[in-house]
A and B are shown apart, each in its own frame.
Chain A
Amino acid sequence: QVQLKESGPGLVQPSQTLSLTCTVSGFSLTSNSVHWVRQPPGKGLEWVGAIWSGGSTDYNSALKSRLSISRDTSKSQVFLKMNSLQTEDTAIYFCTRSSYTTGLGYWGQGVMVTVSS
């Protein structure tokens, strides 16, 4: 069955770089796009970015200068890297599989990232 699982450090220092991994199973990254969505504590959902089945990427306009999404298809992994982290980047980060027609379907459990010294 389709599964996604996020992993990464729970705590990152301000101005440092966040690196997260989304490991997927039950589907191929070359046939599906994977998105990242984040949710600050007690707040709404924010679309972060995506990597398409062909490997191209799209990013949130406000995060674009700090953000990179890549993948390793042989390992079924998608990576998020965000630099110059600030306290406002504290959030639960989810990865989710997308279909162009049906939108964001399967979601990972999320990983909490706290930006603090």
Chain B
Amino acid sequence: DIQMTQSPSSMSVSLGDTVTITCRASQDVGIYVNWFQQKPGKSPRRMIYRATNLADGVPSRFSGSRSGSDYSLTISSLESEDVADYHCLQYDEYPYTFGAGTKLELK
């Protein structure tokens, strides 16, 4: 199975920060990476598809990038509503696999 190694597991952040979360794939997954935002008690919300494409309704301060087997989600000028858990997913190959998640917390 493909492993998605996500880092960091948690991050203490301030409003206005630029935040970057990374997932490293254990083998080639091409562009088939999702990023999800999840708030307490809610279902995950897709933020990014195909590694770099913004999902409908997602603010432009979110962006996705790829460098080799490393996939990153960047939030520019963090707002309070962005404080949440974030998860990556590879959907190139079955079984699909998620990263372990990143929890953003306000300082």
Q: Which B residues are CB-close (under 8 A) to A61?
A: 1, 95
Would you give the shortest CB distance from B44 to chain A, in whole angstroms? 6
Name the contact of B32 in the complex, choosing from A58, A59, A103 (C-beta under 8 A): A103
Contact with B along A73-117 (1 / 0, CB 8 A): 000000000000000000000100010111111011110000000
Q: Which B residues are CB-close (under 8 A) to A46?
A: 98
Kindly state the separation between the CA atoms of A11 and B96 in the bound complex, as whole angstroms.
27
A98 near B98 with CB under 8 A, answer no
Given contacts A103-B34, A105-B49, 14 further A-B contacts (CB under 8 A): A37-B44, A43-B101, A45-B38, A47-B95, A47-B96, A50-B94, A101-B49, A102-B34, A103-B49, A103-B91, A104-B34, A105-B55, A108-B43, A109-B43
Kindly state the separation between the CA atoms of A103 and B46 in the bound complex, as whole angstroms.
9
Q: Which A residues are CB-close (under 8 A) to B7?
A: none
Interface residues of B (CB under 8 A from A): 1, 32-34, 36, 38, 43-46, 49-50, 53, 55, 87, 89, 91, 94-101
Would you give the shortest CB distance from B2 to chain A, in whole angstroms? 11
Kindly state the separation between the CA atoms of A47 and B25 in the bound complex, as whole angstroms.
16
Q: Which residue of A lies closest to B1 (CB)?
A: A61
A47 near B89 with CB under 8 A, answer yes
Kindly state the separation between the CA atoms of A47 and B3 in the bound complex, as whole angstroms.
12
A104 near B91 with CB under 8 A, answer yes
Interface residues contributed by chain A, number (CB under 8 Å): 25
Name the contact of B43 in the complex, choosing from A49, A60, A94 (C-beta under 8 A): A94
Name the contact of A44 in the complex, choosing from B33, B50, B101 (C-beta under 8 A): B101
Would you give the shortest CB distance from A34 to chain B, in whole angstroms? 13
Name the contact of A58 in the complex, choosing from B33, B43, B94, B98 (C-beta under 8 A): B94
Would you give the shortest CB distance from B90 to chain A, in whole angstroms? 9
Kindly state the separation between the CA atoms of A98 and B44 in the bound complex, as whole angstroms.
13
